[in-house]
Structure 1
């Protein structure tokens, strides 16, 4: 399809409008005609910035995942806390847009959490983390964080008592007791999961030396 000679809208405005539609009406309501109507233009105007719907959805995924602030990256023994904060920021951004979880699952590039691999590897090196552990940490962080957050985003919001929903105290007494004694929210459980992974990698390394 031919693109108009002059853009009637900006790329950023189209991405923002796409997110508004998906947030308020659901992913199934999103289409190029619906987006064009929301922006007050004709559908061909969108092709000045995007080649197709997939390119728009990819931009939406990047926008949502990149909305959180980047924590300060200071090398040192507490380097895992940088990744914990990074993961919490990503979780916050994604959970603001739960309807977009399927888009993120399909279109989110794997470098969105870590950023530049070379710079992050240099940060780990400067923090005293052996190079043989870098791939385990970088790959593990992406898999663990994105898997946990996108799974949470595709479920209804939970409280401490509904982390495992529909638990019957009579037939599931042990799980019911565990839920009663759990003092952490979903956010706190996520945070401790990330922290346990990172510090666990180093504990395993120390145990082999």
Structure 2
């Protein structure tokens, strides 16, 4: 379809409106006609900025998984793992703010968006005394853990400490029921502990002395 000669809307406005629709009514409710109506334009106007619906969803993924995720301050030194913990928590917050859009990330996760960021992060790791042969393990591992855990959390109902594992029957699963009763960590705290444990495991397994790193 030929694109209009003059844009009636901005690319940014279309992405923001797409997120509003998905947040309000779910991914199933999103369509180009619905988006055009939401923006007060005809559907052909969207083709000035986007080739198709798939490109719009890719931009939605870029927005919620990249552009709106707050970047913590990088301070090279022995506490370098805390940068990744803070970044993972900020990523989690951004995705959970848009739970209905979480399935988009399964197909449209914008890994290429982070390449420039990863270059800066590799410099941060090097300046913190972390050898380069561990950088891919750290960057890939954090991304995989964070994305997987957050998408699982986003695609199920919010849980309390006692319902992290739903439908547990104390009579048939007494040990799991006791574990839930004894658990003092919220879903957010469990996520934070998972990320921190992964990083501390790399420190331990590779004999990185946190008191002298950096």
TM-score scaled to structure 1, two decimals? 0.96
Q: Deviations over 1:133-163 (max 9, x none)?
A: 1111011011111010011111111110110
Counterpart for residue 91 of structure 1: 92
Name the residue aligned to 1:198.
199
Match of 1:61 in 2: 61
| Structure-2 separation of matches of 1:55 and 1:185 | 36
Structure 1 runs not aligned, ≥5 long: none
> Matched residues in 1 for 2:195 and 2:113: separation?
17
Name the structure 2 match of 1:43: 43
Q: What does residue range 103-122 of structure 1 map to in structure 2 within 5 Å? A: 103-112=104-113, 116-122=117-123
Q: Residues 6-45 of structure 1 correspond to what in structure 2 (within 5 A)?
A: 6-45=6-45
Shift of 1:113: 5.9
CA deviation after TM superposition for structure 1 residue 63, in Å: 0.8
2:73 aligns to what? 72
Structure with more contact order per residue of length (Cα contacts < 8 Å, sep ≥ 6): 2
What number of residue pairs does the alignment pair up? 207
User: Residues 13-72 of structure 1, C-alpha deviation per residue, up to 9 Å, x if partnerless?
Assistant: 100100011011110110001100111100000011111111100000111113121100
Matched, 1:174 2:199: no
- Spell out structure 1 runs of 4+ moving beyond 3 A: 111-115
Separation in 2 of the partners of 1:188 and 1:143?
A: 18
Query: For the residues of structure 2 that align with 1:154 and 1:187, how far apart are their CA atoms?
Result: 15
SS of the equivalent of 2:28 reads: helix
Question: What root-mean-square deviation, in Å, do the aligned CA atoms of Structure 1 and Structure 2 show?
Answer: 1.3
Unaligned 5+ runs, structure 2: 209-214
Which TM-score applies when normalising by structure 2?
0.94
Is residue 114–residue 120 contact of structure 1 (8 Å, CA) maintained in 2?
no
